[in-house]
Amino acid sequence: MLEAISQNRFAVVAVILFGIGLLNMMLQQNLLKKVIGFSIMDSAVFLLLASLGYIEGHGAPIVEEGNVNASLYINPIPSGLVLTGIVVSISVTAFSLALIQRIYRHYGTIELTELLERAKKEED
Amino acid sequence: MSDRGKSGWKRFAEWVNGDSVARDPTTQYVMNRRPVRAHAPQEFHEERERLRLKKFLGLYPLAASFLCLTLITILFVTVLCIPPFGQPGNPTNNEVSRHYLEYTEQETGATNAVTGMILSYRGFDTLGESCVLFLAVSSVMMLLQRDRNNTDQRTLHRLRREDAIERTHPDNILRKSAKLLSPFILLFALYVLFNGETSPGGGFSGGAILGGGLILYSAAYGPEQLSRLLSRSLYDGVRIMGLMAYALTYGIFIFAGANGITVEMEWMMTVIDLAVGLVVACTIYGFYTMFQRGKL
């Protein structure tokens, strides 16, 4: 088991980070901390993807002209997928932060329980 | 019943809806009676609601932790079973990546396989990403832009005071370093943008550096100074033109490829790279300025 862990150390760290992020997102009452948990989850996914594409001893996928030998370079596909992930994560983070700012401007708090109480009071 | 002439569908609809007026007085009385619950005092309802919320809040952390731990355990067991890290024979390193590495230079004219891949083979994906960025900055603008409806006097007063402080006490260290660094950052961004096919870099990294340079300049010299160079209409124009240039060039790319027309790939990749870079730079700068001031 220890050997399996050390062989897949990046994936193990990614799982731990994912767990930290998910717990943060579900248990924190502060909306800002929820967004931070979301970002940690994103980083875990990026770490996992980037580590899947790496091949030991191979170089960055910038092909030498004329000399094309695929066994010299790492896998370029996960790098492209990480790019997609980063773009989506940035967009979602910015959008949720903007929403939180509007919520704070309207209710004066970003603690979830207080927020619910105030929203309910306003509704009545 | 008197609906002999009606169609079957109408009768069916009436049957589903039920009688709005009861046919005999006993049923009418029962229908008109107020529900028993409504007689209970308001406080009773509030108390019950509060208890329910309390029970939910007490149970929720336990359930959430249990769910998270279960998920992490499953993921952990899966991770122990996946093939070891960094081996060339792993199933992820299949013929698709080999094809990309071997034919990217021939088919797209880019020696950087990642840039070649995301801009030509997976160009639709990247077009979608650019649209996501465009929509994100548009929605952030919708939410945060200051106009008459969402700005009160106090906020305006605070903003004016901050501006006055900034004008009378400029940050000399920031200004001097920004003066020194900004040209080089912008130059480096252009280098990364235009050299993305042959070296590490490309549209996304170049655009991010460009946006970073704009943010540094804006932080050092104030947003007014920059908005004289980059006005709202110019910003919107660059943003929209970037996306449209991408869609148009990639459309030509696909059309030519499907009909067997050989086109010069190099300039096409450069145009797409530049378009992506401009969209990314505008997005990053837009996020900064929206969150900082609420206007461009």
Assembly ipTM: 0.89
| Amino acid identity at B59 | L
- B285 in contact with A, Cβ within 8 Å: no
Token pair, residue B83, equals: 């093939």
Its pTM stands at: 0.81
Element housing B56 (H / E): helix B42-81
Is B68 within the bounds of a domain? no
Is B278 within the bounds of a domain? yes
- B187 in contact with A, Cβ within 8 Å: no
Q: Which of A23, A77, A93 to mutate to test binding with chain B, by most B CBs within 10 Å of its CB?
A: A77
What angle, 0 to 180 degrees and rounded to 10, lies between the N-to-C axes of helices B172-194 and B265-292?
A: 150
Domain boundaries, chain A: 2-55+74-123
**How many angstroms separate the CA atoms of A100 and B140, rounded?**
11
Domain, as residue range, for B224 = 122-144+172-292
Is B129 within the bounds of a domain? yes
Is A13 within 8 Å of A47 (Cβ atoms)? yes
Please, what's the largest Cα pairwise distance for chain A? Answer: 74
Token pair, residue A26, equals: 């579900």
The answer, yes or no, to whether residue B137 has pLDDT greater than 80, is yes
**How many angstroms separate the CA atoms of A33 and A38, rounded?**
9
Higher-pLDDT residue of A35 and B14 is: A35
Is B212 within the bounds of a domain? yes
Q: What are the CA-CA distances from residue A20 to residues A16, B46, B61, B129 (Å)? A: 6, 36, 14, 27
Total number of domains in chain B? 1
Token pair, residue B193, equals: 């943008």
Residue numbers in A near B144 (CB within 8 A): 98, 101-102
Is B276 within 8 Å of B269 (Cβ atoms)? no
Is B4 within the bounds of a domain? no
Residue numbers in A near B92 (CB within 8 A): 52-53, 75, 77-78
Q: Annotate B159-193 with three-state secondary structure.
A: HHHHHHHHHHCCCHHHHHHHHHHHHHHHHHHHHHH
Interchain CB distance below 8 Å, A64 and B290: no
Percentage of chain A modeled with pLDDT above 90: 44
Interchain CB distance below 8 Å, B136 and A90: yes
Is B277 within the bounds of a domain? yes
- Which DSSP symbol is given to A61? S
pLDDT tens for B145-177 read 887 777 778 888 888 888 888 788 888 898 999
Output the pLDDT for position B81: 87
Virtual torsion, Cα A5, A9, A10, A14, nearest 10 deg: 50
* Mean pLDDT comparison of A9-13, B41-45, B116-120, highest-scoring range: A9-13
The mean pLDDT of B212-239, rounded to a whole number, is 87
Virtual torsion, Cα B213, B217, B222, B226, nearest 10 deg: -80
What CATH architecture is A2-55+74-123?
Orthogonal Bundle (1.10)
